[in-house]
Structure 1
């Protein structure tokens, strides 16, 4: 991608008449290149009793990314029919969480997904219980990881690194500094999910 990235924006999702519960939605946030998908992948292979939500994206999934692909027209049709619990746009792409997430939460379960920081307010309004996990890395490590993905030119990577946090005042229930190994970061997430399961009585 060589054109300047577009600012992120929230979608217009059909909110339920009442907040969805009694389960918990875990939103994993952080800038591109901090390793969210890798940390989620590590936890997904080891966590029991947690629904790891596949995002729907209008591009083919990248390496290590657990997602479904739709064309722009297909995505719009699903959105128009109320098939998403949350949507957002970023860098010329559309992202969505399938409405099936709500069934997990209504059943008292735990669902977790990689989401944009711009939709945290909407998710808090939608779900009775929202937990936020923020993943971060040092700027140097992030630059190397973004370059290794091979999706953007150097000036686009620089623009990403300079972009302000779209939700700077949002507090996180867990902060993961992913400068080390994926296993180290993944174990932190696993410990958090195990404790959450204990709290909600799903063990």
Structure 2
């Protein structure tokens, strides 16, 4: 008899599957919670936030637009970037915006083929304040596609804020592993905890 517990080797994912490359926007991580009853809450990277205990005004914005957000997004936890005036790079904007990370969900239509978060946002009072991060490439994993996306950002500037010539970089979502990787244009890809 043995006291050891069997631990199987995890399934090995395939690298050459689809990836979605999006612009990495330099703002602050945020999320909108919407429950099945339509109640809406906000969070930062580290905590639930309220208008009284806010993060760059995100909780206040969520509170003020709760009905629109519940209609646009529907139940779930919706992660994105809160960015614009007064946050990190600012992007030359006079206001702030929320850009969702899940681009597939943003554009996915309902059973009728017509309804999507994007469509509902366009019909709302906050159409200019909510979107998804810009998709730069969607297709098989390719180092060439990653380099192409970075070169386009470097030469053409931000796709999220056209005319802004100092974008941060890209995020690469690997669809099979459901993992996100980032590459920055400042070539500062060491983690904050790693030695320089």
Asked if these proteins are the same fold (TM beyond 0.5), I'd say no
Query: Of Structure 1 and Structure 2, which has the larger fraction of its residues in helix?
Result: 1
Tell me: higher relative CO, structure 1 or 2? Use CA pairs within 8 A at least 6 residues apart.
1
Structure exhibiting the larger radius of gyration computed from Cα positions: 2
